[in-house]
Amino acid sequence: MRVFLGVKTYQLVSRVFIHPISPPAAVRCGRAASRCVHGSSENGKHPPSMLRHLTSKIKATGPIPVAEYMREVLTNPVTGYYVKKDVLGPDGDFITSPEISQIFGELVGVWIVSEWMGAGRPGTLQLVELGPGKGSLAGDILRVFSQLRSVLGETSVSLHLVEVSPALSLVQAQNLTGTCSREAHREDDPVYRRGTTGMGTPASWYRRLEDVPAGFSIFVAHEFFDALPIHKFQKTEQGWREVMVDTDPDKPDALRFVLAPSPTLASCTLVQAGERREHVEVCAEGGVIIQQLAQRIVGDGGAALIADYGHDGTKTDTFRGFKEHQLHDVLSSPGSADLTADVDFSYLRWMAGGGVACLGPISQRTFLKNMGIDTRMQVLLRSCSDASSRKQLISSYHRLTDPADMGQRFHFFSLLHPGRLARPQHPEGLKLERKRSPAPLPVAGFSELSFS
């Protein structure tokens, strides 16, 4: 079937994915591939404002790329999903690992301190989190810093949060600083909020990564890259064609997928030569951010730790929606549900280039066990006498580590300064003089030797 718009002919995509992924548990870690390609208004006569906005745009300019659709739905400054509501937690649409157990954030905090030590214990440490959710992960990390104050010594620690959602930034500020934060006086100020955490750590909020000041930084991105806009491409007899979002002339207030009739700029530039899959998703925005992280790590020192569900260049269609902890048609009632796609770690590695060292992806189960989650659990269970609390601890442990739950679906990926794996350093940053170069230092979490 073909749809005629002006002089262009768009082929209707009745079923986008080639190889569906198996349906997992109904939590954000397991949002399954969406099989629905038609969407409709939930209230019939009066479609939601986001749907009206998208419909008007498509009627004016023609079908839009999936990336543009995803960007509008999630981050439109007026009606975007992340902008207008608090979406995290049991009462939201999904729940994340830091919300399940503080152990997750504690082990990430230990990893950060380990990498700070491996870099020679620089005098400043910027903790930069991309998409910090409710601030739970940052709070758990800072608590570890406080407990390891004797190790950090006089190191100047600061917190930098990159967040586009005003609603979520208020939640983060309340959880991290209480009443000790204030908004910027000028709208064009790159730091739109400042505060001080309960532990005395200065905190700053930014809308863009490039506004975070230069300096030795450890970047953390947990369930951040999966929400960035993706382009979708389908291989046809005529070559690669981009999947677009169009209105449905047969169903009022409904959207559908179609294929572009000719190559687009994205299909000509984003699909890698020699690609063997029939359907490909490319997160160009994620590639740009990875390049920014790599450049900063090489120039200023530091590391990046990325935790997300994804694959290493093997999956095809993973674009799906999630609402109230259940799968949701990605084209239905846009703006009311989370949109996500699995992270292609092979693409991130390729975009990082050869200037930085890349480790992973490894499963969340492997990372957490290498970081000592079993030992930490035993300590907590020994100090916990309440049966209900013990049950909760055990349940959260299984959710984080079981292969059938988050343990295998989430993966960890890291960018490191190339000098980090070259040779160990003196605690004050001076390289050791030896006749033979020693073996590279193991990286916590990515080595079986670390914290076991």
Work out the widest C-alpha separation in the chain, in whole angstroms: 79
Residue 89: how many other CB atoms lie within 10 Å:
15
Question: What is d(CA 434, CA 429) in angstroms, rounded to the nearest whole number?
Answer: 15
1, 12, 13, 248, 260 from 4: Cα distances, Å: 10, 10, 14, 12, 11
* Closest by CA position to 241, among listed 36, 34, 11, 19: 11
Output the pLDDT for position 452: 29
Question: What is d(CA 170, CA 167) in angstroms, rounded to the nearest whole number?
Answer: 5
Question: What is d(CA 300, CA 348) in angstroms, rounded to the nearest whole number?
Answer: 20
Cis peptide before 424 (omega within 30 of 0): no
Question: What is d(CA 154, CA 68) in angstroms, rounded to the nearest whole number?
Answer: 46
Output the pLDDT for position 46: 47
Backbone angles phi, psi at 211, to 5 degrees: -85, -10
Token readout for 256 is: 């559908």
Output the pLDDT for position 165: 84
* Closest by CA position to 122, among listed 160, 155, 73: 155
Question: What is d(CA 207, CA 211) in angstroms, rounded to the nearest whole number?
Answer: 8
Backbone angles phi, psi at 3, to 5 degrees: -110, 130
Q: How many residues belong to the chain?
A: 452
Domain range summary for the chain, segments of one domain joined by +: 2-88+231-283, 97-227+285-326+340-421
List the pLDDT tens digit at each of the 452 positions of the chain: 433 333 345 555 644 433 222 233 223 333 333 333 334 444 444 446 899 999 999 999 999 999 999 999 998 888 888 776 555 544 544 578 888 889 999 999 999 999 999 999 999 999 999 999 999 999 999 999 999 999 999 999 999 999 988 888 999 999 999 988 999 988 889 999 999 999 999 999 999 999 999 999 999 999 999 999 999 999 999 999 999 999 999 888 899 999 999 999 999 999 998 999 999 999 999 999 999 999 999 999 999 999 999 999 999 999 999 887 788 999 999 988 889 999 999 999 999 998 999 999 999 999 999 999 999 999 999 988 888 889 999 999 999 999 999 999 999 999 999 988 765 444 444 444 444 444 456 899 997 543 32
∠ Cα 408 328 265 (to 5°): 85
Residue 35: how many other CB atoms lie within 10 Å:
14
Reading phi first (left if > 0) and then psi (alpha if -120 to 50, else beta), residue 216 is in: beta
Output the pLDDT for position 386: 85
**Which residue bears the tokens 């290493």?**
312
Contact 336, 279 (CB under 8 A): no
Name every residue whose Cβ is closer than 8 Å to that of residue 447 and which is 6 or more positions away in sequence.
Answer: 370
∠ Cα 84 226 176 (to 5°): 55
∠ Cα 377 131 180 (to 5°): 85
How far is C-alpha 18 from the geometric centre of its chain's CA atoms?
24
Superfamily classification of domain 97-227+285-326+340-421 = Vaccinia Virus protein VP39 (3.40.50.150)
Token readout for 45 is: 């006569």
Name every residue whose Cβ is closer than 8 Å to that of residue 211 and which is 6 or more positions away in sequence.
Answer: 190, 191
Output the pLDDT for position 185: 85
Output the pLDDT for position 42: 43
* Closest by CA position to 338, among listed 73, 44, 113: 73
**Which residue bears the tokens 């846009």?**
334
Output the pLDDT for position 167: 83
Question: What is d(CA 219, CA 302) in angstroms, rounded to the nearest whole number?
Answer: 8
* Closest by CA position to 155, among listed 117, 128, 181: 117
Residue 36: how many other CB atoms lie within 10 Å:
16
Q: What DSSP string runs through 168-202?
A: HHHHHHHHHHTT-EEE-SSTT-SEEEEEE-TTS-E
**Which residue bears the tokens 């207030």?**
253
